[in-house]
Amino acid sequence: MNKVYLYIFLFLISISTTFSQENKNIKSNDREEISNINDGPYILIEKNNLIEKTIVNGKVLSKKLTSNYYDTVFTPNKEIYKNIKKIAALSDIHGQYDLAIKLLKKNKIIDKKLNWNFGKGHLVIVGDIFDRGDKVNEMLLLIYKLEKQAKIEGGRVHFLLGNHEYMVLHNDLRYIHKKYLLTSKLLKLNYNELYGNKTVLGRWLRSKPTILKINDYIFVHGGVSKEFITKNNFDIDIINKIMRTSIDRTKTEMKSTDFYKNFYGSKSLIWYRGYFNDNLKDQDISEILDLTNSEHIVVGHCSNKEVVSLYDHKIFGVDSSIKKGKYGEILIIKNNKFYRKTLKGTKKKFK
Protein backbone atom coordinates (compact mmCIF):
# COMPACT_ATOMS: atom_id res chain seq x y z
CA MET A 1 0.00 0.00 0.00
CA ASN A 2 2.89 2.35 0.86
CA LYS A 3 4.25 1.76 -2.63
CA VAL A 4 0.93 2.94 -4.09
CA TYR A 5 1.03 6.18 -2.06
CA LEU A 6 4.65 6.70 -3.01
CA TYR A 7 3.78 6.28 -6.70
CA ILE A 8 0.89 8.77 -6.46
CA PHE A 9 3.12 11.27 -4.63
CA LEU A 10 5.85 11.02 -7.27
CA PHE A 11 3.27 11.30 -10.05
CA LEU A 12 1.84 14.52 -8.59
CA ILE A 13 5.33 15.96 -8.19
CA SER A 14 6.00 15.10 -11.84
CA ILE A 15 2.82 16.89 -13.01
CA SER A 16 3.63 19.94 -10.90
CA THR A 17 7.17 20.12 -12.29
CA THR A 18 5.94 19.76 -15.88
CA PHE A 19 3.31 22.43 -15.38
CA SER A 20 5.92 24.74 -13.87
CA GLN A 21 8.30 24.16 -16.76
CA GLU A 22 5.59 24.75 -19.34
CA ASN A 23 4.59 28.05 -17.78
CA LYS A 24 7.97 29.42 -16.60
CA ASN A 25 8.09 31.75 -19.61
CA ILE A 26 4.67 33.24 -18.81
CA LYS A 27 4.96 36.17 -16.43
CA SER A 28 2.41 36.45 -13.66
CA ASN A 29 1.13 39.80 -14.97
CA ASP A 30 0.50 38.15 -18.37
CA ARG A 31 -1.78 35.47 -16.98
CA GLU A 32 -4.92 37.61 -16.93
CA GLU A 33 -4.30 38.72 -20.52
CA ILE A 34 -3.70 35.13 -21.57
CA SER A 35 -7.07 34.07 -20.15
CA ASN A 36 -8.70 36.49 -22.59
CA ILE A 37 -6.82 35.34 -25.69
CA ASN A 38 -8.75 33.72 -28.51
CA ASP A 39 -6.65 32.96 -31.57
CA GLY A 40 -6.20 30.59 -34.46
CA PRO A 41 -6.64 28.18 -35.94
CA TYR A 42 -3.02 27.56 -36.83
CA ILE A 43 -2.61 24.49 -39.01
CA LEU A 44 0.67 22.65 -38.45
CA ILE A 45 1.97 20.00 -40.81
CA GLU A 46 3.53 17.04 -39.01
CA LYS A 47 4.67 14.36 -41.44
CA ASN A 48 1.45 13.33 -43.17
CA ASN A 49 -0.85 14.76 -40.53
CA LEU A 50 -2.47 18.15 -40.07
CA ILE A 51 -2.71 19.43 -36.50
CA GLU A 52 -5.10 22.30 -35.83
CA LYS A 53 -4.23 24.41 -32.81
CA THR A 54 -6.72 26.96 -31.53
CA ILE A 55 -6.59 29.12 -28.42
CA VAL A 56 -9.91 29.57 -26.61
CA ASN A 57 -9.93 31.76 -23.50
CA GLY A 58 -6.22 31.19 -23.06
CA LYS A 59 -6.38 27.41 -23.41
CA VAL A 60 -4.82 25.53 -26.32
CA LEU A 61 -7.09 23.08 -28.09
CA SER A 62 -5.49 20.60 -30.50
CA LYS A 63 -7.21 18.51 -33.09
CA LYS A 64 -5.92 16.14 -35.75
CA LEU A 65 -7.36 16.73 -39.22
CA THR A 66 -7.45 14.47 -42.24
CA SER A 67 -4.53 15.04 -44.60
CA ASN A 68 -6.81 16.46 -47.31
CA TYR A 69 -8.63 18.95 -45.04
CA TYR A 70 -6.32 21.75 -46.19
CA ASP A 71 -4.06 22.02 -49.19
CA THR A 72 -0.39 21.61 -48.35
CA VAL A 73 1.07 22.19 -51.81
CA PHE A 74 0.62 25.63 -53.37
CA THR A 75 1.58 26.51 -56.92
CA PRO A 76 2.09 30.21 -57.65
CA ASN A 77 -0.69 31.77 -59.70
CA LYS A 78 -0.25 33.77 -62.88
CA GLU A 79 1.36 37.16 -62.32
CA ILE A 80 0.32 38.90 -65.56
CA TYR A 81 -3.34 39.33 -66.57
CA LYS A 82 -4.97 41.08 -69.51
CA ASN A 83 -8.45 42.36 -70.36
CA ILE A 84 -9.68 42.54 -66.76
CA LYS A 85 -12.61 44.96 -66.55
CA LYS A 86 -12.96 45.38 -62.80
CA ILE A 87 -10.21 45.68 -60.16
CA ALA A 88 -10.25 46.66 -56.48
CA ALA A 89 -7.08 47.43 -54.52
CA LEU A 90 -6.20 48.26 -50.91
CA SER A 91 -3.18 47.75 -48.69
CA ASP A 92 -1.64 47.92 -45.23
CA ILE A 93 -4.46 46.27 -43.30
CA HIS A 94 -2.04 45.45 -40.46
CA GLY A 95 -4.33 43.18 -38.47
CA GLN A 96 -7.34 45.55 -38.57
CA TYR A 97 -9.68 42.76 -39.60
CA ASP A 98 -12.95 44.36 -38.45
CA LEU A 99 -12.32 47.60 -40.32
CA ALA A 100 -11.21 45.75 -43.46
CA ILE A 101 -14.39 43.64 -43.31
CA LYS A 102 -16.53 46.76 -43.07
CA LEU A 103 -14.74 48.35 -46.04
CA LEU A 104 -15.05 45.22 -48.19
CA LYS A 105 -18.73 44.79 -47.31
CA LYS A 106 -19.70 48.41 -47.96
CA ASN A 107 -18.04 48.27 -51.37
CA LYS A 108 -19.65 44.94 -52.26
CA ILE A 109 -16.42 42.98 -52.55
CA ILE A 110 -17.81 40.50 -50.02
CA ASP A 111 -21.36 39.87 -48.84
CA LYS A 112 -22.83 39.93 -45.33
CA LYS A 113 -21.63 36.38 -44.72
CA LEU A 114 -18.08 37.28 -45.75
CA ASN A 115 -18.27 35.41 -49.04
CA TRP A 116 -16.96 36.60 -52.42
CA ASN A 117 -19.29 39.13 -54.06
CA PHE A 118 -17.09 40.72 -56.74
CA GLY A 119 -17.89 38.32 -59.57
CA LYS A 120 -15.17 38.22 -62.23
CA GLY A 121 -13.38 41.16 -60.66
CA HIS A 122 -9.85 41.05 -59.25
CA LEU A 123 -9.10 42.11 -55.67
CA VAL A 124 -5.48 43.06 -54.97
CA ILE A 125 -4.14 43.28 -51.41
CA VAL A 126 -0.99 45.34 -51.98
CA GLY A 127 0.95 43.97 -49.00
CA ASP A 128 1.15 44.32 -45.22
CA ILE A 129 -1.56 42.26 -43.60
CA PHE A 130 0.95 41.44 -40.84
CA ASP A 131 2.02 43.39 -37.74
CA ARG A 132 0.58 46.07 -35.46
CA GLY A 133 -3.03 44.85 -35.13
CA ASP A 134 -4.36 41.82 -33.25
CA LYS A 135 -6.36 40.05 -35.97
CA VAL A 136 -3.71 39.11 -38.50
CA ASN A 137 -4.54 35.42 -38.68
CA GLU A 138 -8.25 36.11 -39.14
CA MET A 139 -7.46 38.31 -42.14
CA LEU A 140 -5.13 35.74 -43.67
CA LEU A 141 -7.73 33.00 -43.33
CA LEU A 142 -10.37 35.21 -44.94
CA ILE A 143 -8.11 35.96 -47.91
CA TYR A 144 -7.28 32.24 -48.13
CA LYS A 145 -11.02 31.48 -48.37
CA LEU A 146 -11.90 34.31 -50.75
CA GLU A 147 -9.09 33.31 -53.08
CA LYS A 148 -10.80 29.97 -53.71
CA GLN A 149 -14.29 31.44 -53.97
CA ALA A 150 -13.22 34.14 -56.43
CA LYS A 151 -11.54 31.64 -58.72
CA ILE A 152 -14.76 29.61 -58.96
CA GLU A 153 -16.63 32.79 -60.02
CA GLY A 154 -14.01 33.69 -62.64
CA GLY A 155 -12.45 36.39 -60.47
CA ARG A 156 -9.19 36.47 -58.55
CA VAL A 157 -7.77 37.52 -55.20
CA HIS A 158 -4.11 38.55 -55.25
CA PHE A 159 -2.20 38.94 -51.99
CA LEU A 160 1.18 40.60 -52.61
CA LEU A 161 3.87 40.33 -49.96
CA GLY A 162 4.95 43.63 -48.44
CA ASN A 163 7.87 44.54 -46.22
CA HIS A 164 6.03 43.43 -43.07
CA GLU A 165 5.33 39.97 -44.49
CA TYR A 166 9.02 39.58 -45.24
CA MET A 167 9.95 40.94 -41.82
CA VAL A 168 7.85 38.36 -39.98
CA LEU A 169 8.95 35.50 -42.23
CA HIS A 170 12.58 36.46 -41.48
CA ASN A 171 11.83 36.59 -37.74
CA ASP A 172 11.93 40.37 -37.42
CA LEU A 173 9.14 40.69 -34.86
CA ARG A 174 9.53 44.32 -33.77
CA TYR A 175 6.00 45.28 -34.80
CA ILE A 176 3.88 42.30 -33.80
CA HIS A 177 1.00 42.91 -31.39
CA LYS A 178 1.62 41.77 -27.81
CA LYS A 179 -1.15 39.21 -28.23
CA TYR A 180 1.10 37.23 -30.56
CA LEU A 181 3.96 37.11 -28.07
CA LEU A 182 1.54 35.41 -25.68
CA THR A 183 0.15 33.18 -28.45
CA SER A 184 3.71 32.07 -29.20
CA LYS A 185 4.31 31.17 -25.58
CA LEU A 186 1.08 29.18 -25.38
CA LEU A 187 1.80 27.28 -28.60
CA LYS A 188 5.52 26.92 -27.73
CA LEU A 189 6.52 28.19 -31.14
CA ASN A 190 8.24 31.38 -32.16
CA TYR A 191 5.83 33.67 -34.02
CA ASN A 192 7.56 33.28 -37.39
CA GLU A 193 7.32 29.49 -36.96
CA LEU A 194 3.53 29.80 -36.96
CA TYR A 195 4.01 30.79 -40.63
CA GLY A 196 6.97 28.53 -41.33
CA ASN A 197 7.30 25.93 -44.04
CA LYS A 198 5.67 23.32 -41.80
CA THR A 199 2.35 25.17 -41.62
CA VAL A 200 -0.46 25.51 -44.16
CA LEU A 201 -0.49 29.31 -44.18
CA GLY A 202 3.29 29.39 -44.23
CA ARG A 203 3.40 27.35 -47.42
CA TRP A 204 0.56 29.41 -48.86
CA LEU A 205 2.45 32.64 -48.16
CA ARG A 206 5.53 31.22 -49.88
CA SER A 207 3.53 30.94 -53.11
CA LYS A 208 2.61 34.64 -53.13
CA PRO A 209 4.06 37.25 -55.50
CA THR A 210 5.77 40.53 -54.71
CA ILE A 211 4.81 42.25 -57.95
CA LEU A 212 1.82 41.80 -60.24
CA LYS A 213 0.63 43.21 -63.57
CA ILE A 214 -3.04 43.49 -64.55
CA ASN A 215 -3.78 45.13 -67.87
CA ASP A 216 -1.35 48.09 -67.98
CA TYR A 217 -1.18 48.46 -64.19
CA ILE A 218 1.72 47.37 -62.00
CA PHE A 219 0.87 46.49 -58.39
CA VAL A 220 3.69 46.40 -55.84
CA HIS A 221 3.94 47.27 -52.16
CA GLY A 222 6.62 49.95 -52.11
CA GLY A 223 7.18 50.90 -55.72
CA VAL A 224 9.52 50.44 -58.66
CA SER A 225 12.56 52.70 -58.52
CA LYS A 226 14.86 53.55 -61.41
CA GLU A 227 17.72 52.22 -59.28
CA PHE A 228 16.05 48.84 -58.97
CA ILE A 229 15.40 48.58 -62.71
CA THR A 230 18.95 49.53 -63.68
CA LYS A 231 20.48 46.95 -61.33
CA ASN A 232 18.06 44.10 -62.05
CA ASN A 233 16.40 42.60 -65.08
CA PHE A 234 12.77 43.75 -64.90
CA ASP A 235 11.05 40.44 -65.48
CA ILE A 236 8.04 39.95 -63.20
CA ASP A 237 8.24 36.16 -63.21
CA ILE A 238 11.95 36.12 -62.40
CA ILE A 239 11.63 38.78 -59.70
CA ASN A 240 8.85 36.86 -57.95
CA LYS A 241 10.85 33.62 -58.06
CA ILE A 242 13.85 35.42 -56.55
CA MET A 243 11.75 36.92 -53.77
CA ARG A 244 10.02 33.63 -52.98
CA THR A 245 13.36 31.85 -52.70
CA SER A 246 14.69 34.61 -50.44
CA ILE A 247 12.09 33.85 -47.75
CA ASP A 248 14.05 30.85 -46.50
CA ARG A 249 17.51 32.36 -46.97
CA THR A 250 19.28 33.83 -43.95
CA LYS A 251 19.98 37.54 -43.74
CA THR A 252 23.65 36.78 -43.27
CA GLU A 253 23.74 34.88 -46.55
CA MET A 254 21.79 37.58 -48.41
CA LYS A 255 23.95 40.37 -46.99
CA SER A 256 27.17 38.65 -48.09
CA THR A 257 26.56 40.12 -51.57
CA ASP A 258 24.64 43.09 -52.97
CA PHE A 259 21.50 40.95 -53.03
CA TYR A 260 20.08 42.25 -49.75
CA LYS A 261 20.60 45.89 -50.69
CA ASN A 262 19.01 45.37 -54.12
CA PHE A 263 15.97 43.36 -53.01
CA TYR A 264 15.50 44.48 -49.39
CA GLY A 265 17.05 47.95 -49.35
CA SER A 266 15.42 51.37 -49.48
CA LYS A 267 15.17 51.31 -53.29
CA SER A 268 13.68 47.81 -53.43
CA LEU A 269 10.15 46.86 -54.44
CA ILE A 270 9.02 46.35 -50.84
CA TRP A 271 10.67 49.36 -49.16
CA TYR A 272 10.75 52.14 -51.78
CA ARG A 273 9.06 55.43 -50.80
CA GLY A 274 10.35 57.63 -53.60
CA TYR A 275 7.03 58.47 -55.23
CA PHE A 276 5.99 60.27 -52.04
CA ASN A 277 9.28 61.46 -50.57
CA ASP A 278 11.85 62.11 -53.32
CA ASN A 279 10.23 64.99 -55.21
CA LEU A 280 10.51 63.10 -58.49
CA LYS A 281 9.78 64.80 -61.78
CA ASP A 282 7.14 63.73 -64.28
CA GLN A 283 9.98 62.63 -66.57
CA ASP A 284 11.29 60.25 -63.88
CA ILE A 285 7.88 58.62 -63.57
CA SER A 286 7.48 58.36 -67.35
CA GLU A 287 10.86 56.62 -67.58
CA ILE A 288 9.86 54.10 -64.93
CA LEU A 289 6.58 53.41 -66.71
CA ASP A 290 8.40 52.93 -70.02
CA LEU A 291 10.91 50.55 -68.45
CA THR A 292 8.13 48.51 -66.84
CA ASN A 293 5.92 48.65 -69.95
CA SER A 294 3.03 50.01 -67.92
CA GLU A 295 0.73 53.03 -67.74
CA HIS A 296 0.11 53.16 -63.98
CA ILE A 297 1.67 51.84 -60.76
CA VAL A 298 -0.42 51.07 -57.67
CA VAL A 299 1.45 50.99 -54.35
CA GLY A 300 0.90 50.81 -50.60
CA HIS A 301 3.53 51.33 -47.87
CA CYS A 302 3.21 55.13 -47.54
CA SER A 303 0.25 56.12 -45.39
CA ASN A 304 -2.26 58.79 -46.40
CA LYS A 305 -5.68 59.79 -45.13
CA GLU A 306 -7.31 58.41 -48.26
CA VAL A 307 -6.48 56.69 -51.54
CA VAL A 308 -4.37 59.20 -53.49
CA SER A 309 -3.39 59.88 -57.08
CA LEU A 310 0.01 61.34 -58.03
CA TYR A 311 1.73 62.45 -61.22
CA ASP A 312 -1.43 62.97 -63.26
CA HIS A 313 -2.96 59.60 -62.28
CA LYS A 314 0.19 57.65 -63.14
CA ILE A 315 0.81 56.60 -59.53
CA PHE A 316 -1.90 55.54 -57.05
CA GLY A 317 -1.31 55.12 -53.33
CA VAL A 318 -3.76 52.75 -51.65
CA ASP A 319 -2.44 52.84 -48.08
CA SER A 320 -5.31 54.84 -46.57
CA SER A 321 -4.20 54.31 -42.96
CA ILE A 322 -6.41 51.30 -42.24
CA LYS A 323 -3.72 50.35 -39.71
CA LYS A 324 -5.06 53.03 -37.33
CA GLY A 325 -8.35 51.14 -37.10
CA LYS A 326 -10.60 54.15 -37.74
CA TYR A 327 -10.97 54.70 -41.48
CA GLY A 328 -9.98 53.26 -44.83
CA GLU A 329 -10.66 53.43 -48.54
CA ILE A 330 -10.38 51.21 -51.59
CA LEU A 331 -9.33 51.95 -55.16
CA ILE A 332 -11.73 50.76 -57.85
CA ILE A 333 -10.62 50.50 -61.46
CA LYS A 334 -13.51 49.84 -63.81
CA ASN A 335 -13.20 49.94 -67.59
CA ASN A 336 -9.94 51.88 -67.23
CA LYS A 337 -11.52 54.54 -65.02
CA PHE A 338 -10.32 55.15 -61.46
CA TYR A 339 -12.44 55.79 -58.35
CA ARG A 340 -11.92 56.24 -54.63
CA LYS A 341 -14.52 54.32 -52.63
CA THR A 342 -15.02 55.29 -49.01
CA LEU A 343 -15.83 53.36 -45.87
CA LYS A 344 -19.49 54.17 -46.51
CA GLY A 345 -19.26 52.83 -50.07
CA THR A 346 -19.61 56.22 -51.72
CA LYS A 347 -17.67 57.07 -54.88
CA LYS A 348 -15.22 59.98 -54.79
CA LYS A 349 -13.32 61.77 -57.54
CA PHE A 350 -9.58 62.28 -57.26
CA LYS A 351 -8.42 65.79 -56.45
pLDDT of 3 strictly over 70: no
- Strand segments, DSSP code E, in 68-176 are 80-81, 86-90, 122-125, 156-159
What pLDDT score does 47 carry? 86
The predicted structure's pLDDT at residue 226: 97
Q: Is 351 exposed, middle or buried (0-12, 13-18, 19+ CB in 10 A)?
A: exposed
**Residue 15 domain-assigned?**
no
**What's the pLDDT score for residue 200?**
98
Residue 331 lies in a domain: yes
Residue-wise DSSP of 35-93 = TT--EEEEEEEETTEEEEEEEETTEEEEEEE-TTSS----PPPPSEE-S--EEEEE---
Domain that holds residue 224: 80-348
Cα(7)–Cα(133) distance, rounded to whole angstroms?
48
**Does residue 212 fall inside a structural domain?**
yes
Domain-located, residue 143: yes
Predicted TM-score (pTM) of the model is 0.91
Q: Do 87 and 124 contact (CB within 8 A), yes or no? A: yes
- Whether 140 is covered by a domain: the verdict is yes
Question: For residues 306 and 351, which has the higher predicted lDDT (pLDDT)?
Answer: 306
pLDDT tens track for 265-296: 999 999 999 999 999 999 999 999 999 999 99
Asked, for residue 12, whether it belongs to a domain, the answer is no
Alpha-carbon span 40 to 341, nearest angstrom: 31
CATH number, residue 120: 3.60.21.10
- When divided into structural domains, the chain yields a total of 1
- Over residues 157-180, mean pLDDT: 98
Domain membership flag for residue 297: yes
| Residue 138: predicted pLDDT | 98
Asked whether residue 51 is domain-assigned, the answer is no
Contact 340, 348 (CB under 8 A): yes
